[in-house]
């Protein structure tokens, strides 16, 4: 295999440094499946890792990118053969194992999902970890009794990758979706994804959150944590379900037990990183079927691998919305 291009994240004198490098096959991490990467994507976690704004990378140096999709060029595992189209996301990819911002990658076979029928490699990365996480949260909520007839579902951080896809999927499944955002300029974007209503975060008095407030939501998808999650809990309907997905605002949660013992609300932690493979494959199959977002193309833009670095700053500054696919084909 010829040397290949990769975006390598390292640390020098306690500071994160990142840039493009030429790697050779002997620099791969261990794994049974080698693939030619077609596409990766940019998630908030990727931006934190590449800029050093968050302590994400657990091993330096590490090729960034927690997502990859491509074609198998070599496999020592009988489950995969040369020419198979596959997806690999989560686990240690892009964190402690070389990731998807490269022309080639090698990963353990246990981390690999066959590309579902009817889904392209591009769409797999337009979804990526963000889409998978949104879908996993919704599946878990459904398993805990959520259905469209129960009432409205609120989605916080709605313009982000997870939030945008959650709004889209829920709308496609027949839910009345309320999108919560701090970006007034994105109201029409969110309505275009299927939100029946858009709430501005500035309209909430988060300094005066009651243990129990007016019951508003049958379900909630939270990407923020902190005060917004506490407010969601206080406003859940009887037997409402919350999917806690992110901590973009805060990792603290100052609430009471009242919503849980007096209204029977459920708070579900959504860990997309280490989902058991049977459930992981089920969620990806649903993303190719009844949970396929209707507006995925409209919320997605593409950048070449060589044009990747400026995108990270957009995420850190809160200027990004929707999804970014990285074309790794050169």
pLDDT per residue over 183-234, tens digit each?
Answer: 999 999 999 999 999 999 999 999 999 999 999 999 999 999 999 999 999 9
Judged against a pLDDT cut of 90, whether residue 168 lies above it is answered with yes
The pLDDT, as a whole number, for residue 319 is 86
Start-end of CATH 3.40.50.720 domains in the chain: 130-269
Percentage of the residues of the chain whose pLDDT score is greater than 90? 94
List the CATH code of the domain at 4-115+296-327.
3.90.180.10
pLDDT tier for residue 318 given thresholds of 50, 70 and 90: confident
The reported pTM is 0.94
- What φ, ψ does residue 55 adopt, rounded to 5°? -85, 80
Range list for CATH 3.90.180.10 in the chain: 4-115+296-327
Rounded to the nearest 5 percent, the helix, strand and coil shares of the chain are 30, 30, 40
Helices (H), the chain: 44-51, 121-143, 161-172, 187-192, 226-234, 258-262, 277-287, 309-316
Residue 29: pLDDT band with limits 50, 70, 90? very high
Q: Express as a percent the part of the chain with pLDDT over 70.
A: 100
pLDDT at 257: 97
Average pLDDT value over all residues in the chain:
96
- What confidence category does residue 320 fall into, taking pLDDT thresholds of 50, 70 and 90? confident
Residue 330: is its pLDDT beyond 80?
A: no
Per-residue pLDDT reduced to its tens digit, 38-96: 999 999 999 999 999 988 999 999 999 999 999 999 999 999 999 999 999 999 999 99
Pick from 155-159, 210-214, 246-250, 277-281: least confident:
246-250
Classify the phi-psi angles of 104: left when phi > 0, otherwise alpha if psi is within -120 to 50, otherwise beta: beta
SS3 for the chain is CCCEEEEEEEEECCEEEEEEEEECHHHCCCCCEEEEEEEEEECHHHHHHHHCCCCCCCCCCEECCCEEEEEEEEECCCCCCCCCEEEEECCCECCCECCCCECEEEECHHHEEECCCCCCHHHHHHHHHHHHHHHHHHHHHHHCCCCHHHCCEEECCCCCHHHHHHHHHHHHCCCCEEEEECCHHHHHHHHHCCCCEEEEHHHCCCCCCCCCCCCCEEEEEECCCHHHHHHHHHCEEEEEEEEECCCCCCCCCCCCCHHHHHCCCEEEECCCCCCCHHHHHHHHHHHCCCCCCCCCHHHEEEEEHHHCHHHHHHHHCCCCCCEEEEECCC
Tokens of 34: 């080698």
pLDDT band of residue 162 (cuts 50, 70, 90) is very high
At residue 321, the pLDDT reads 85
Residue 247 has pLDDT above 90, yes or no: no
What is the average per-residue pLDDT within 110-115?
A: 98
How confident is the model over 151-177, as a mean pLDDT?
97
pLDDT exceeds 80 at position 150: yes
Closest CA to 44 of 36, 35, 53: 53
The per-residue pLDDT for 242 is: 98
Domain 130-269 sits in CATH at 3.40.50.720
């Amino acid at each position: 295999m010829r040397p290949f291009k990769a975006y390598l994240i390292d640390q020098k004198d306690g500071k994160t440094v990142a840039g493009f490098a030429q790697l050779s096959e002997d620099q791969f991490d261990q794994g049974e499946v080698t693939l030619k990467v077609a596409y990766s994507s940019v998630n908030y976690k990727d931006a934190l890792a590449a800029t050093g704004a968050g302590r994400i990378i657990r091993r330096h140096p590490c090729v960034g990118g927690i997502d990859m999709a491509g074609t198998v060029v070599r496999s020592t595992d009988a489950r995969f053969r040369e020419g198979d189209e596959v997806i690999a996301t989560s686990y240690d990819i892009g964190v402690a194992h070389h990731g998807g911002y490269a022309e080639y990658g090698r990963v353990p076979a246990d981390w690999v999902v066959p590309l579902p029928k009817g889904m392209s490699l591009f769409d797999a990365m337009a979804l990526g970890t963000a889409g998978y996480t949104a879908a996993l949260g919704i599946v878990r909520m459904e398993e805990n009794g959520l259905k469209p007839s129960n009432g409205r579902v609120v989605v916080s951080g709605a313009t982000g990758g997870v939030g945008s896809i959650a709004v889209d999927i829920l709308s496609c499944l027949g839910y009345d979706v309320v999108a919560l955002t701090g970006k007034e300029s994105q109201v029409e974007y969110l309505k275009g994804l299927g939100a029946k209503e858009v709430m501005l975060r500035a309209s909430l008095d988060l300094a005066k959150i009651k243990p129990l407030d007016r019951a508003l939501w049958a379900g909630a998808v939270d990407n923020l944590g902190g005060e917004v999650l506490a407010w969601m809990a206080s406003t859940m309907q009887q037997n409402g379900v919350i999917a806690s997905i992110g901590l973009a605002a805060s990792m603290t949660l100052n609430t009471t037990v009242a919503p849980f013992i007096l209204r029977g609300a459920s708070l579900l932690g959504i860990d997309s990183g280490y989902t058991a493979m049977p459930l992981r494959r089920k969620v990806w199959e649903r993303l190719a079927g009844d949970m396929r977002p209707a507006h995925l193309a409209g919320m997605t833009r593409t950048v070449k691998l060589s044009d990747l670095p400026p995108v990270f700053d957009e995420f850190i500054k809160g200027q990004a919305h929707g999804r970014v696919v990285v074309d790794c084909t050169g």
